[in-house]
Amino acid sequence: MIRKLLRRVFSKPLPDSSSSSPLVIPVATHGVRREQISPCAAKVVAALQERGFQAFVVGGAVRDLLLGKHPKDFDVATDARPEQVRAVVKRSRVIGRRFRLVHAYCGDEIVEVSTFRGEHGVAETDEARADEHGRILRDNVFGTQEQDAKRRDFTVNALFYDPQSQEIWDCTGGYRDLQARRLCMIGDPATRYREDPVRMLRAVRLAASLGLAIEPRSRAPISELAPLLHHVPPSRLFEEMLKLLLSGQSQECLRQLREEGLHHGLFPMLDVILEQPMGERFVNLALANTDRRIKEDKRVSPAFLLAALLWHEVLNAWRQAEAEGFKPVPALYQAMDQVLASQAEKLAIPRRFCSPMKELWALQQRFAHRSGKRPFRLPEHPRFRAGLDFLLLRCESGEVAPELGQWWADFYAADEVARLQMVTPEPRPRRRPRSRKGAGSREAPAAEPTSGRLAGE
* Residues forming the site for ligand ATP (CB under 6 A): 59-60, 72-73, 75, 152-153, 157-158, 196, 198-199, 243
Nearer to Mg ion, 60 or 174 (CB): 60
- 137, 123 Cβ separation under 8 angstroms: no
Closest approach of ligand ATP to the CB of residue 153, in Å: 4
- 240, 206 Cβ separation under 8 angstroms: no
Backbone φ and ψ for 32, nearest 5 degrees, come out as: -85, 120
- Closest by CA position to 237, among listed 209, 269, 210, 265: 265
196 is catalytic: no
* Core vs surface per residue 53-83: b (16+ CB within 10 A) or e: bbbbbbbbbbbbbbeeeebeebbbbbbbbbe
3-state helix, strand, coil in the chain (%, to 5): 55, 10, 35
Q: Which residues contact 441 (CB under 8 A, 6 or more apart)?
A: none
Rounded to whole angstroms, the Cα distance separating 83 from 58 reads: 20
Closest approach of ligand ATP to the CB of residue 156, in Å: 8
Nearer to ligand ATP, 48 or 244 (CB): 244
Nearer to ligand ATP, 153 or 215 (CB): 153
DSSP 401: -
162 is catalytic: no
Closest approach of ligand ATP to the CB of residue 75, in Å: 5
* Distance linking the first and last C-alpha atoms of the chain: 73
Active-site hit among 75, 177, 291, 389: 75
Contacts with Mg ion in 51-90 (CB under 5 A)? 60, 73
Q: By CB under 5 A, tell whether 15 contacts Mg ion.
A: no
Rounded to whole angstroms, the Cα distance separating 69 from 54 reads: 26
Closest approach of ligand ATP to the CB of residue 189, in Å: 12
Closest approach of ligand ATP to the CB of residue 206, in Å: 7
Closest approach of ligand ATP to the CB of residue 402, in Å: 37
Q: By CB under 5 A, tell whether 244 contacts Mg ion.
A: no
Closest approach of Mg ion to the CB of residue 60, in Å: 3
Rounded to whole angstroms, the Cα distance separating 35 from 78 reads: 20
- 197, 242 Cβ separation under 8 angstroms: no
Active-site hit among 64, 79, 148, 153: 153
153 binds, among Mg ion, ligand ATP, none (CB under 5 to 8 A by kind): ligand ATP
126 is catalytic: no
Nearer to ligand ATP, 97 or 351 (CB): 97
Backbone φ and ψ for 129, nearest 5 degrees, come out as: -100, -15
DSSP 433: -
Rounded to whole angstroms, the Cα distance separating 312 from 62 reads: 41
Q: By CB under 5 A, tell whether 210 contacts Mg ion.
A: no
Closest approach of Mg ion to the CB of residue 240, in Å: 13
Chain position whose Cβ is nearest to ligand ATP: 60
Nearer to Mg ion, 73 or 139 (CB): 73
117 binds, among ligand ATP, Mg ion, none (CB under 5 to 8 A by kind): none
198 binds, among Mg ion, ligand ATP, none (CB under 5 to 8 A by kind): ligand ATP
Nearer to ligand ATP, 260 or 313 (CB): 260
Residue 162, class by beta-carbon neighbours within 10 Å (0-12 exposed, 13-18 middle, 19+ buried)?
A: middle
Chain position whose Cβ is nearest to Mg ion: 60
Length of the chain: 457
Q: Which residues contact 67 (CB under 8 A, 6 or more apart)?
A: 178, 210
152 binds, among ligand ATP, Mg ion, none (CB under 5 to 8 A by kind): ligand ATP
Nearer to Mg ion, 57 or 310 (CB): 57
375 binds, among ligand ATP, Mg ion, none (CB under 5 to 8 A by kind): none
199 binds, among ligand ATP, Mg ion, none (CB under 5 to 8 A by kind): ligand ATP
- Closest by CA position to 101, among listed 86, 88, 91, 121: 86
Nearer to ligand ATP, 34 or 236 (CB): 236
Angle of CA points 152, 69, 163, to nearest 5°: 65
Active site residues: 73, 75, 153
Contacts to Mg ion by CB under 5 A = 60, 73
